[in-house]
A and B are shown apart, each in its own frame.
Chain A
Amino acid sequence: MAKFLLRKILILLITFIGISFVTFLVINISPGKPQDMLEFSSKISYEAKQKLIKLYGLDKPLHIRYLEWFKRFVTFDFGRSFKDEKPVIQKILQRLPATLLLNILSLGLIFFGGCLLGILCAMYQNKFLDKFISFIVFLGYSLPKYWLALLCMLLFGIKLRILPISGLRSINFDYLPLHQQIIDIIKHLILPVIISAFGGLAGLTRYIRGSMIEQLNFEYIKFALSKGCTKNRIVFFHAFRNVLIPVVTILGLSLPDIIGGSFIFETIFAYPGMGRLGYEAIMSRDYPLIMGISVITAILTLLGNFVADILYTYVDPRVRYK
Chain B
Amino acid sequence: MNIKKLNNSLILGCSMLIFLCIFATLADYIAPYNPYEQNLLQRLQPPSFKHLFGTDELGRDVFSRMVYATRVSLLVGLISVGIATVIGTILGLISGYYGGWVDTLIMRIVDIILCFPTFFLILLVIAFLKPSIYNIMVVIGLTSWPSLTRYVRAEVLKIKTAEYILSAKLAGFSSGKILFVHILPNVLVPVVVTFSLGVGSAILTESGLSFLGLGVQPPEPSWGNILTAGKDYIHIAWWLSLFPGAAIFFTVVAFNLLGEGLRIHFSPKENK
Contacts and interface: CB of A to CB of B under 8 A. Distances in A.
The answer on direct contact between A and B (beta carbons under 8 Å) is yes
Interface of A: 11, 14-15, 18-19, 22-23, 26-27, 30-32, 138-139, 141-144, 146-148, 150-151, 153-154, 158, 252-253, 255-257, 259-261, 263-264, 267-268, 278-279, 282-283, 285, 290, 294, 297-298, 301-302, 305
Closest 4 CB pairs of A and B: A147-B245, A30-B128, A260-B119, A260-B117
Contact of A256 (B117, B124, B129, B227): B117
Contacts of B212: 263-264, 267, 279
A278 B117 CA distance: 13
Contacts of B252: 142-144
Contacts of A255: 115
A158 B235 contact: yes
B130 interface: yes
B124 A294 contact: yes
Contacts of B244: 147
A278 B227 contact: no
A294 B249 contact: no
Given A139-B253, A158-B235, 10 more contacts: A144-B245, A144-B252, A146-B211, A154-B234, A264-B211, A264-B212, A282-B123, A294-B124, A297-B120, A301-B117
B71 to A, nearest CB: 18
Interface in B88-134: 108-109, 111-112, 114-121, 123-125, 127-130
A146 B208 contact: yes
Contacts, number: 123
B207 to A, nearest CB: 6
Nearest to A301: B115
Given A144-B252, A256-B114, A267-B212, A278 B234 contact: no
B215 to A, nearest CB: 12
B132 to A, nearest CB: 12
Contacts of A148: 245
A14 B252 CA distance: 36
Contacts of A143: 249, 252
A256 B128 contact: no
B118 A256 contact: yes
A96 B116 CA distance: 18
Given A144-B252, A158-B235, A150 B245 contact: yes
A27 B230 CA distance: 31
Contacts of A18: 109, 112
A152 to B, nearest CB: 11
6 contacts: A32-B130, A139-B253, A144-B249, A260-B119, A267-B212, A278-B120
A147 B230 CA distance: 10
Given A146-B227, A147-B227, A253-B115, A31 B128 contact: yes
A263 B209 CA distance: 11
Interface in B230-269: 230-231, 234-235, 238, 241-242, 244-246, 248-249, 252-253, 256, 260
Nearest to B114: A253
Contacts of A252: 115
B200 interface: yes
Contacts of B129: 30-31
Interface in B51-69: none
A263 B235 contact: no
A144 B114 contact: no
Given A15-B115, A263-B119, A297-B117, A27 B208 contact: no
Nearest to A158: B235
A282 B117 contact: no
Interface string B187-221: 00000000000001000100110011100000000
Contacts of B238: 154
B242 A151 contact: yes
A122 to B, nearest CB: 17
Nearest to A302: B115
Contacts of A302: 115
Contacts of B256: 138, 141-142
A18 B114 CA distance: 12
Nearest to B147: A253
A298 B128 CA distance: 19
Contacts of B130: 31-32
Nearest to A264: B208
Interface in B145-187: none
A96 to B, nearest CB: 15
A142 B253 contact: yes
A142 B247 CA distance: 11
Q: Name the residue in A15, A31, A261, A305 with the highest tally of chain B Cβ atoms < 10 Å from its Cβ.
A: A15
A54 B119 CA distance: 32
B108 to A, nearest CB: 7
Contacts of A279: 123, 212
